[in-house]
Structure 1
């Protein structure tokens, strides 16, 4: 029996945020588009994002919200398809959404609304989407293939093998983060196959783990959240920190993890709105009989104060402030404003929201997302060396990069 074959103008690998967006953008231009997805359903990462509500973009999107070896690469795409463009699309589909702090926009009901919107756009434009497809081989097309074909591939679907050709091949396979949702390094394999460089990759927007005395402390405080400022390698974020059974998480730790390297210290300001040294020495004069833990407890959770006491003043828990020297209180204040900790590592790709690094943008056109040395081969979304901060920025990059490629494929 002969193997079925078909030719498409555009084949997109990956039915996630960037892949689906690229698909309907290209199909709206009259291109014959096929999207191939390995998983049994599309948009798995969208569905799980934002606690199931999908933080789909942000009110304020700037190049500074993105990390890349080439900080300028993202500018063109973000300018050509803005957060306001995506918000208009969401509103056109009648999806209710809400703004949370720091300009983050979430679906009021469910992330399913965003996936359904993308699929509706694909259906209306005529883009075909197939799931449970395994790519067996990708090769440059030869003279015997369809005249406009640049690439040919062999795929397995429903226990059947098919041969496909296309003029434009778009890699929207995502990256290594959260393998249970389909994350893989397949896009990097394709880049290597066609001679494109990769930058170093590591887990980003990921919780920290500890192996020293902080580990049992974090276990005891698991579930406690406190607003702090965290600094590492010249970057500072102010948000909630969450203690977990494994270490420290929460928005502020996820943000700073993008700038942390193994061996680096984190500096945590537990009282970011005040000079703790001045406050404690002033309080000593005003309330000389008060214990230090009683001064701190209204500003920090009592359980956290108890743990810090064991670290920093274990033998003075019943000592009134009057019996502390100003220098001793000042030292405690400096620790509260500058608690230095050294994580042993992170939870890795298993729980990372993104992958830092990827296909080197030096080999990609910032206007079209096409590989400059390989006509007809495009890379969009997380597979590229462009990573956004927490807060809807990675989705905005998916929409913008998918849009740019969709206009030209």
Structure 2
């Protein structure tokens, strides 16, 4: 049996951040993870470049049953603090739209930063260690894994959610919470592509790979303005991933395919400048030609000369392009989702330390809890903040 001050289950973003923070405070820290290597989700994030934070991260960018829960951690360790950490390690990065920061080289740079910090802080990381049981005793917690038994004073659960099961995602964190009497909210895949009904798949056959700048709105009025992407199975792209966190089965989403323009005003201009040109050709100057041709072939957009269009037809075209309604069949699920919505109820935890209110010295951080950020580095930003807050408290 190995005794330690702090045992952390999960060698991901939040777990490694908490480990290094606690280690620097002189705590003996061990991290156990069932995987072959640390930071597996970090490595595949951002297309392998890791969108490691967002400069604009605020509490408004998170979904949580208690919207105030994220404020404390984010206020104490904001995105600039993590940017300074990667700069100290010489990681080269670049800015993208909407405050996103990506590694120039690869996501491995971020894992290297975290593992170097853990090494400097004296943290041990034990891989290929699957947790089999946890019991509370007078000294703290007795944790059994496939390889070893650990006695710890403080136990941090940073085991992640259910996304990407191929990387070893499991419900262990939720089971531990329930074992100790903590409420776990229903979970679902978030930041995930939509699948479509067969008739819509047929409509969009041949459009896979086409991207359109769009404004997407959910039934509850949440709007994101970014690209959508047609896929073989449905719709993806940043705007779709964002809105998926606010979508529920059976609901529709509304797409404005020309958010920056008024098709009615353009028609008036075209009547003057290009009256004999076809609507199809003029719309193809605004939207991908293959998309317009597909909609014409399905008789969803008429193909007449501009000067032959009636007022009713112009109104219909405007409505179609500005309020394009799609009812998804479902989502791609945890297989391709970036995060898990729901999880350990934050009402069970201290927002300052992430300690369970009912169980002293038991902590939950990261994706396992009911905090879900927007797409664009927000989830990592919260993991870093939660890891630091927890690491300072154990």
Q: Same fold (TM over 0.5)?
A: yes
Counterparts of residues 32-181 of structure 1 (less than 5 Å)? 32-142=28-138, 149-157=139-147, 162-181=148-167
Report whether the alignment pairs 1:17 with 2:2. Answer: no
Aligned to 2:236: 249
Preserved CA contact (<8 Å) 2:204 2:294 = no
Preserved CA contact (<8 Å) 1:151 1:165 = yes
Q: How many equivalent pairs are there?
A: 393
Distance 1:137 1:404 in 2: 26
Counterparts of residues 4-403 of structure 1 (less than 5 Å)? 5-142=1-138, 149-157=139-147, 162-232=148-218, 233-313=220-300, 316-317=302-303, 319-403=304-388
Per-residue CA distance 1:278-310 (angstroms, 9 max, x = gap): 322442344221111011001101000012223
User: Are the structure 2 counterparts of residues 291 and 93 from structure 1 closer, same or farther at C-alpha, using a change threshold of 3 Å?
Assistant: same
CA RMSD of aligned residues (A): 1.1
Preserved CA contact (<8 Å) 2:203 2:298 = no
TM-score, normalised relative to structure 2: 0.98
Cα deviation for residue 217 of structure 1 reads: 3.3
Cα deviation for residue 313 of structure 1 reads: 4.2
Aligned to 2:391: 406
User: Are the structure 2 counterparts of residues 310 and 384 from structure 1 closer, same or farther at C-alpha, using a change threshold of 3 Å?
Assistant: same
TM-score, normalised relative to structure 1: 0.94
Instruction: Flag structure 1 segments of 5+ consecutive residues without an equivalent.
Output: 143-148
Preserved CA contact (<8 Å) 1:358 1:384 = yes
User: Are the structure 2 counterparts of residues 235 and 269 from structure 1 closer, same or farther at C-alpha, using a change threshold of 3 Å?
Assistant: same
Instruction: Flag structure 2 segments of 5+ consecutive residues without an equivalent.
Output: none
User: Are the structure 2 counterparts of residues 218 and 184 from structure 1 closer, same or farther at C-alpha, using a change threshold of 3 Å?
Assistant: farther
Preserved CA contact (<8 Å) 1:17 1:395 = yes
Q: Secondary structure at the match of 2:357?
A: coil
Q: Secondary structure at the match of 2:156?
A: strand
Preserved CA contact (<8 Å) 1:266 1:340 = yes
Distance 2:55 2:306 in 1: 47
Cα deviation for residue 251 of structure 1 reads: 0.6
User: Are the structure 2 counterparts of residues 320 and 83 from structure 1 closer, same or farther at C-alpha, using a change threshold of 3 Å?
Assistant: same
